[in-house]
Structure formats: structure tokens, C-alpha cells
Amino acid sequence: MYARLPVVTPRFPDGRPDFLTQCTKLCGARCCRYISLPIPAARTAEEFDDWRWYLAHEGISIFKDGNTWHLCVETRCGYLQADNTCGIYETRPRVCRDYDPTDCEFAVPDGEFDVEFKSPDDLAAWLGKKKERRKLLARRRRNGAARTRRSPRRRLRG
């Protein structure tokens, strides 16, 4: 994925948004340079190891948008022309037609995703933090249980 910067859509003098300038000049047709596909959440060590393998490849990232994980592959669409316009605009695929230039990744500041891995190291760091969080929660639960067990005696003594 590319660094996402907040942008203001340029406008024609009459106030209409000028998406052609936005998409071809300011953005550089980012959404025509990758595909992303939903993937099942990894749960087991083996599945996370598969993710590690995906991420070992150039141009691959994994991100979570809402509750859905996506595999992102940076790859330029063959219909994208040198001036960043679409070579088959009138017959472009549904996914391109449905894409909203007022709410695309170029218009949204970086950090929009809850989680994003661009390398095996990103994944390893995230898994490490997750493990630490689990340990901390388990410790808190144990301490909480111990306090609960002790509290009746405290009341008796008090």
C-alpha cells in the first residue's frame, strides 16, 4: 500500500468536484495499482505462518478494515494508461465503477486501518504484543481471582 495523505478534492470554478485532476494528477491512480481480497482471519500458528510467507513476498501487505482482513497485492492494472487515465473507462469492471473517489484511500489520512502488516517483521511485532497483552490479562485475572478469594477473610478480620 501507499502512504495515504489527506487531500482536498479540486473543484471547477462552478464548484463541481474535479475528480479527473484528483485521480490522475494529485493521486496518480493509486487504486489502479493494487488489488485487495478479503481473507479469513488467521487463528492458528500454522495460519499465521502462512501469513508470514505471504508477507515475505514483495508488494504484499495484509490489513484489517473493520472486522475483515484483506490481502493486498501491489500490481498495476493493465488498462491504466501513461497519463493515469483508464483505457477502458466506459466498460471498466464493476469494482472500479463502484469505487468512490470521495471516500477512497487517497482522501483518508494514513492510519485508517486498525492493523496493517507490510513485512514479516510487522506481523512478528504484532504477534509479540498480542502475546504480551494475553499474559497481562491472564495475570490480572489471576490477581483478581486471588483478591476475590481473600476478600471474605478480610471482612471477617475487619
Give the residues lining the site for ligand SF4 (CB under 6 A): 22-23, 27, 29-32, 77, 79-80, 86, 88, 92-93, 96, 99, 101, 104-106
What is the residue whose three cell numbers read 469492471? 93
Q: In a 10 Å sphere around its CB, with 0-12 CB exposed, 13-18 middle and 19+ buried, how is residue 92 labelled?
A: middle
C-alpha cell at 30: 493509486
27, 20 contact by CB (below 8 A):
no
Nearer to ligand SF4 by Cβ, of 80 and 127: the residue is: 80
Nearer to ligand SF4 by Cβ, of 5 and 136: the residue is: 5
What is the residue whose three cell numbers read 495484509? 62
Q: Minimum distance from CB of 130 to ligand SF4 (Å)?
A: 31
Q: Minimum distance from CB of 83 to ligand SF4 (Å)?
A: 11
Nearer to ligand SF4 by Cβ, of 52 and 92: the residue is: 92
Q: Minimum distance from CB of 79 to ligand SF4 (Å)?
A: 4
**E strand or H helix at 124:** helix 120-157
Nearer to ligand SF4 by Cβ, of 18 and 126: the residue is: 18
What is the residue whose three cell numbers read 476475590? 148
Number of residues assigned to the chain: 158
Q: Minimum distance from CB of 22 to ligand SF4 (Å)?
A: 5
